[in-house]
Each structure stands twice: as C-alpha cells, then as structure tokens.
C-alpha cells in the first residue's frame, strides 16, 4: 500500500483509455514519476511525448514476459490493457512489490483475480479491481446510493449509456472493440434471489432514464464485473447491469459477433475513438424490500482542454483519481478488493467533478 508522491506505470498506455490516464496523471502533483508501457513501444513513446507533460518516459513490453522487471521502482501499476491480461499483470505487480489497479474483468476474470487476495495481503499490497467508469465509478456510486437509502438494501441496478453527437461513417467504439464484443457475446449475469443467473446475450433491459442530453433510451443486459461483487459487498438479493449503445453501433457490433478473427481484427484497426464531443452517463439505483429507492446519476461531459470526450474521460478519470487518493493516504486497505470496499464516495466524487462529472442523488 503506497502513500506519498507515487511512481506510476501505465500498462496499455497506447490505447484510447491508457493515453487519457497518462494525461490525467501527468497533471497530478501526487505523481512523482510516470512510465508509459505498451506492447507497441513507438505508440508508448508517442503517448509519453504528447500527453506526459514532459514528466513521462516510455518503454515497450509484452505483459506476459518481462513486465515485473519493467516495474522496478514503481509504486503502482495501472493496467489499461486487455482484461485478459489482468491476472498476469497482477502477478507481475506482486513480483515487483507494487500496488495494482485495473479497469475491470468482465465478471469471470474478476472471480479469478479475487483468488489472489491472500497473496496481496501477505505482501502488504493493494489491488483494486475495476476502477474505470463501469465498473469503478458505478461501484462507488452504489455505496452512495446505499447510504442515501439508510436501511437494508434489497436490490442494486446499474445502467450506463454514451452518445456522440458528431456524425461519422466509421466504426466508433468507446473502448477496446474485442472487450465490447465479449460483453455482447458472453451470457450476461444478474443476481436473482441472491444467486447468479445467466440471461441470453443481448437480452432487453427496458427503458432507462439517463441525465440529459441522453434522456430515456433502450438498454440491453451485458456481462459486467459489478455483478460478481455486489452480492458479497452489499448483501443484496437482486442486481443487474444494463447498457445503452447508439443503435447504429449496436447493429454493427451484432454483425461482428461470431465473425472470423480476421474480420474483427480489421474492424479493430479501422475503428475510431469517440469524438471530443461525446458524453457518458450512469445511473445506480438502490431499493429496499418495501419499495424505497435511492438513485445516484452521473453525467460526464467532454474535457475541452484535453480534447477528449466524456466517455473516455469517464473511464480514465476514476483510475487516476484513485492514484491521488492513494498518495494522500485516503485508501489504506491491503489485499484484493472491488472499489466499493475501499473507495469512499466523499473522497472520489470531488476528484471526478474536477474532471467534468456531475452527480445527483435522489431518494423516494
């Protein structure tokens, strides 16, 4: 567990979210040193030069070989690479004696990661699983909703949406295409009467009201990490995650489900990041068995000075915010934990508000 100004390594720094994390950390006084790591060394160097504010250096590394050696001298590893590398990256962090943060593990990977809890405990190190927008911000929003309900919680429901007002004919994805396809292809899991239950992929999730300018939109159930930890963390009997994607993007993703790897790789290469005008919204609702509800909504708008849309900032900012909280000594646990077990909304929300996010809490 780290405290004081931190030396931070960002794995997957060349990706859409990784470079935004580098930009955020480069503007954080709590960061003493910044190392941008990517399997593509040229891309890592470009990110360090363009987004590192003169404070970042870069190196090429394959996470499956030699990562621990690259982490020598680092206090924290932020893993913004593919979720498939999460366990490998966690083990490298243990070998290098540093803390660990990632952006999520799509439920099943999260289960494997939790098995490393005792190893991190013995090492006196912290691993926070899923500190992006969702999972991540939504987990901490759930803490705030549960507090607002001020009583036993029966259900927690999470919903996420993003919209980009800038027209394009290109495939525009909010994060890694392969991860997004996995979310839509693997069977979603909900918590039903305290037990996990699988749904059909793309099962309709109904209409959800998000903050404007998104408003009321249709959703689908997708596989997500929150469902793996909400039961043990909050004692709820019901929980779900629902996602709303722009209809055109959803149609294209449905076409790519089950497509040959060559076609997916070509689509990934041709995909473009969201524009600097995109917005991102999340809603977390806690309810009691007698029908009382508490809802927390979040809207993340673009960061004009960074030329980054709200969807990218929404995912990158929580990980960077956690780094600052670690440096200030606001997070003191060791072991492997989801965000709801170690991050306080009273600490996190002000950090995210400085990154274009607005929160609203309602109780009924």
Dihedral, CA of residue 159, residue 163, residue 168 and residue 169, to nearest 10 = 20
Could you state, in chain order, the average pLDDT of each consecutive group of 10 residues for the chain (364 residues)?
83 95 96 97 96 94 95 97 96 98 95 98 98 98 96 96 87 85 94 96 97 97 96 97 93 89 88 90 96 96 94 97 97 96 98 98 94
pLDDT, position 3: 63
pLDDT, position 259: 87
Per-residue exposure over 289-312, b if at least 16 CB sit within 10 Å of its own CB, e if not: eeebbbbbbbbbbbbeebebbbbb
CB atoms within 10 A of CB 276: 17
What are the backbone dihedrals phi and psi of residue 135, each rounded to the nearest 5 degrees, phi first?
-75, 165
Whether 72 and 43 have beta carbons less than 8 Å apart is answered as no
* 188: DSSP letter: P
- pLDDT per position as a tens digit, 267-278: 988 888 889 999
Provide the H-helix boundaries in 194-286: 226-234, 247-256, 261-270
Whether 320 and 343 have beta carbons less than 8 Å apart is answered as no
Query: Taking the CA atoms of the chain, what radius of gyration do you get in angstroms?
Result: 19
pLDDT, position 348: 98
39 vs 73: CA distance, rounded Å = 20
pLDDT, position 44: 97
What are the backbone dihedrals phi and psi of residue 212, each rounded to the nearest 5 degrees, phi first?
-65, 145
SS3 of 36, please?
strand
Domain limits of the chain? Answer: 6-132+313-353, 137-310+357-363
Whether 177 and 271 have beta carbons less than 8 Å apart is answered as yes
- pLDDT per position as a tens digit, 26-41: 999 999 999 999 999 9
pTM of the model: 0.95
Beta bridge partners of 11: 37, 79
SS3 of 111, please?
helix
Q: Which CATH superfamily is domain 137-310+357-363 in?
A: Dihydrodipicolinate Reductase; domain 2 (3.30.360.10)
45 vs 358: CA distance, rounded Å = 33
Lookup: tokens for 29? 């006084």
CATH architecture of 6-132+313-353: 3-Layer(aba) Sandwich (3.40)
pLDDT, position 178: 87
């Amino acid at each position: 567990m780290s405290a004081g100004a931190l030396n931070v390594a960002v794995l997957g720094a060349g990706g859409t979210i990784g470079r935004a994390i580098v930009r955020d950390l480069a503007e954080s006084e709590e960061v003493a040193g910044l190392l941008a790591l990517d399997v593509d060394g040229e891309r890592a160097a470009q990110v360090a030069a363009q987004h590192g504010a003169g404070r970042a250096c870069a190196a090429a590394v394959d996470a499956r070989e030699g990562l621990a050696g690259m982490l020598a001298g680092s206090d924290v590893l932020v893993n913004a690479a593919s979720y498939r590398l999460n366990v490998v990256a966690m083990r490298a962090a243990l070998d290098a004696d540093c803390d660990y943060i990632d952006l999520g593990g799509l439920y099943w990977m999260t289960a494997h990661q939790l098995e490393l809890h005792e190893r991190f405990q013995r090492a006196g190190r912290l691993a926070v699983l899923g500190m992006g927008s969702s999972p991540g911000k939504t987990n901490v929003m759930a803490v705030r909703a549960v507090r607002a309900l001020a009583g036993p919680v029966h259900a927690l429901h999470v919903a996420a949406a993003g919209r980009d007002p800038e027209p394009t004919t290109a495939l525009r994805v909010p994060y890694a295409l392969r991860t997004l396809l996995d979310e839509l292809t693997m069977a979603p899991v909900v918590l039903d009467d305290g037990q996990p239950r699988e749904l059909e992929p793309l099962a309709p999730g109904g209409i959800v009201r998000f903050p404007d300018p998104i408003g009321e939109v249709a959703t689908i159930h997708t596989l997500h990490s929150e469902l793996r930890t909400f039961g043990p963390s909050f004692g709820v009997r019901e929980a779900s995650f629902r996602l709303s994607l722009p209809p055109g993007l959803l149609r294209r993703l449905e076409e790519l489900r089950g497509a040959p790897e060559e076609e997916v790789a070509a689509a990934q290469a041709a995909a473009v990041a969201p524009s600097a005008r995109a917005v991102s919204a999340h809603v977390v609702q806690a309810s009691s068995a007698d029908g009382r509800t508490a809802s927390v909504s979040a809207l993340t708008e673009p960061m004009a000075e960074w030329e980054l849309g709200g969807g990218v900032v929404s995912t990158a900012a929580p990980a960077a915010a956690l780094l600052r909280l670690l440096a200030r000594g606001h997070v003191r646990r060791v072991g492997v934990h989801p965000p709801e077990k170690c991050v306080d909304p009273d600490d996190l929300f002000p950090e995210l508000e400085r990154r274009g996010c607005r929160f609203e809490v309602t109780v009924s």
